[in-house]
Structure formats: C-alpha cells, structure tokens
C-alpha cells in the first residue's frame, strides 16, 4: 500500500532557507514523510541536513538538473500516493496539508491543488508566485487571482473559495503521483520556470482538474533562486512559455497565437530593455532563438500528449479568462 503524502523540497545551495523554514515543515507535517532532493549543491547543505535533521530523507542527484529535471530524478525514488513539491523558501502553517488531502479525497478527478500563497514579507498580501490560483489568457500568458502584473492584492477574503483554476504554483504544488507520472513529469527542457503550468495544461488536456483551496495557506519569500529582475529568468519565462503554447494550445488557434506572441514579445523586448536594462532585451532575443531550436521537439511532444485529448482548454479559457 502506498504511503499517503511526501513533502518534497528541491535544494540547490539553499542551506540558509532550509535552516530557516525546514523546522516548521517538519513540525506541521506530522504524518507525512519529508524529503529533500539535493541538486548537487556546492555548499554544505547535505552535511547540514544529516547533522541537524536526521528524520529528513535525503536524495542526492548526481548533477544540477534544474527545477524540472531535479524533481523528475528525485521523485523516482519516492513511493507515495501524493507529492507536495515545496520551495525551500516557504513557511507552512499548522494543519496546512489536511484541507488539501480532504479535497483530493472528495473529488478523484482533481490531479493537482495549490493553497493560498501569501507574502512572507508582507503577510497581508498575496505573493507573486501563485497567489490565489493560476489562470491563463487566450494568448497563453499566465497570471494569477490576487496578482495582475506586479501589483499584488491585499488578502481581504475575496478568494476564500475552493475553485477550479488553470495552473497550480510550483512553489507549493500538490499532485497525485499517478497523474505526475502519467504525464512523464515535468518537461526537463524547461530547466526552471513555467514547467508546472505546462504540466497542468497537459493534465487539463487529458481530462483532469486543477484546484485551489483557501483553507490551506503558506507564506513565500520568493526569488530565492532567481531574482525577478534576472535576465536569465526573462529568458526562461519567454522561451518556456512559447514552447508550452506549441505543445498544448488548441490547433485551430495555435498559428494565430504564435504569430501574435512573436510580435508582442518584440515590443516586450524593447520595453524590458528600457525598463530593466539591455541584458533583458538580449534575453528576449535569445529566448526566441532557443524557442525555434525547441520547436521540433515541442511539436513531437504535442503529438504524444494530445493523442487522447479531451479538448477542455478552450472551455477553461472561456469560463475563466475572457
């Protein structure tokens, strides 16, 4: 019989975050197994874990596979019914796992769930990475309830619901292990950023549901690995998002979406260059060339994952986002 829940933290040189937040994860995750997957850290994270947290199970990857590949490699060794993929810079709260597991038990068609994600530094505000559940517009740009661009809403109870969303945030991502492996996990080509959105889109296209619940809440620092102002983050977000659209968007609209996106990204590159600096303009250009290099592989993955497609994407976009 499978064990119930594994709380799994991916670490790369994050000793300071583990020292700060892991004690709370252990304290408030009673009845669950806590794992740390280490992506070949060059600090002393692993030795620190062994000395300070002997109950935590450590999986050591043989290289830094990034967020997507790191989880794919490590989770092969974890045999549980549910995974919680948790960023190392997240503060959890008492009873945080129970509402999630109850929702899974209530509806077997739900594949993935995220809690309410609040800011660690401004605790009355939603946090950038996920907020009150991820949505997507009809051009494939992701956004969240509780956040529009960089503007974050104060939590006044306006999203105190349990509702279907389009994507669950990777900073605190609960998923049935069967659904994760049915989709072959994350797309490792992404390395980091938007791999969870791609996975959720694939799940929706296979007839599964993604949910948010306000009954569980966590506090996220954000930017622990890549700062929001990093050109590398700009590169990864644009390249991965375009690849995700090619893999998952409904075909009748795909060509038009990609054409418009390439035009809009050109304007975005100029805007980023003016606002954030020339390296961000270069990052946009590199992202597009990398996307072209990925195109054939993305199309092959599209054909593979859409063989038994339920075509729910259109319905979800019109239901929530237009």
What sign does the dihedral 190-196-200-201 (CA atoms) show? negative
Name which of 29, 98, 89 is nearest 57 in CA terms. Answer: 29
CB 81 within 8 A of CB 1: no
Taking residue 76's Cβ as centre, other Cβ atoms within 10 Å add up to 11
Taking residue 227's Cβ as centre, other Cβ atoms within 10 Å add up to 10
The size of the chain, in residues, is 322
What is the tally of helices (H) and strands (E) in the chain? 10, 13
Return d(Cα 201, Cα 244) in angstroms, integer: 8
Mapped onto helix, strand or coil, the DSSP state of residue 69 is helix
pLDDT in tens, the chain (322 residues): 678 999 999 999 999 999 999 999 999 999 999 999 999 999 999 999 999 999 999 999 999 999 999 999 999 999 999 999 999 999 999 999 999 999 999 999 999 999 999 999 999 999 999 999 999 998 999 999 999 878 899 999 999 999 999 999 999 999 999 999 999 999 999 999 999 999 999 999 999 999 999 999 999 998 655 555 788 888 999 999 999 999 999 877 888 888 898 888 888 878 777 777 888 889 888 988 898 898 888 888 887 776 555 544 554 544 444 3
Return d(Cα 168, Cα 196) in angstroms, integer: 7
First-last CA distance in the chain: 44
CB 212 within 8 A of CB 168: yes
Cβ-Cβ contacts under 8 Å for 209 (sequence gap 6 or more): 107, 109, 110, 111, 164, 203
What is the pLDDT, as a whole number, of residue 1? 63
What is the pLDDT, as a whole number, of residue 228? 58
Taking the mean position of all CA atoms in its chain, how far away is CA 17?
18
CB 61 within 8 A of CB 71: no
């Amino acid at each position: 019989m499978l064990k119930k829940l594994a709380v799994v933290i991916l670490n790369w040189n994050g000793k300071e975050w583990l020292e700060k937040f892991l004690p709370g994860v252990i304290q408030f995750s009673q009845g669950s197994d806590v794992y740390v997957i280490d992506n070949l850290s060059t600090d002393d994270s692993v030795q620190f874990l062994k000395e300070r947290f002997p109950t935590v199970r450590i999986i050591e990857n043989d290289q830094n596979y990034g967020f997507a590949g790191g989880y794919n490699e490590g989770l092969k060794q974890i045999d549980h019914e549910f995974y919680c993929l948790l960023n190392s810079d997240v503060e959890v709260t008492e009873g945080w796992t129970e509402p999630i597991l109850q929702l899974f038990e209530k509806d077997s068609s739900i594949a993935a769930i995220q809690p309410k994600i609040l800011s660690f530094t401004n605790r009355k505000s939603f946090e950038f990475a996920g907020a009150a559940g991820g949505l997507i517009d009809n051009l494939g740009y992701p956004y969240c309830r509780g956040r529009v661009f960089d503007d974050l809403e104060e939590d006044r109870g306006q999203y105190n619901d349990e509702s279907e969303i389009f994507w669950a945030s990777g900073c605190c991502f609960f998923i049935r292990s069967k659904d994760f492996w049915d989709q072959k996990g994350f797309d490792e080509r992404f390395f980091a950023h938007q791999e969870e959105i791609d996975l959720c889109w694939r799940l929706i296209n296979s007839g599964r549901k993604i949910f948010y619940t306000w009954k569980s809440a966590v506090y996220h620092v954000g930017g622990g690995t890549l700062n929001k102002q990093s050109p590398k983050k700009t590169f990864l977000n644009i390249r991965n998002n375009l690849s995700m659209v090619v893999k998952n968007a409904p075909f009748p609209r795909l060509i038009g979406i990609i054409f418009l996106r390439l035009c809009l990204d050109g304007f975005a590159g100029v805007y980023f260059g003016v606002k954030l600096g020339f390296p961000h303009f270069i990052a946009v250009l590199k992202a597009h060339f990398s996307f072209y290099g990925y195109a054939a592989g993305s199309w092959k993955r599209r054909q593979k994952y859409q063989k038994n497609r339920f075509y729910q994407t259109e319905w979800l976009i019109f239901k929530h986002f237009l």
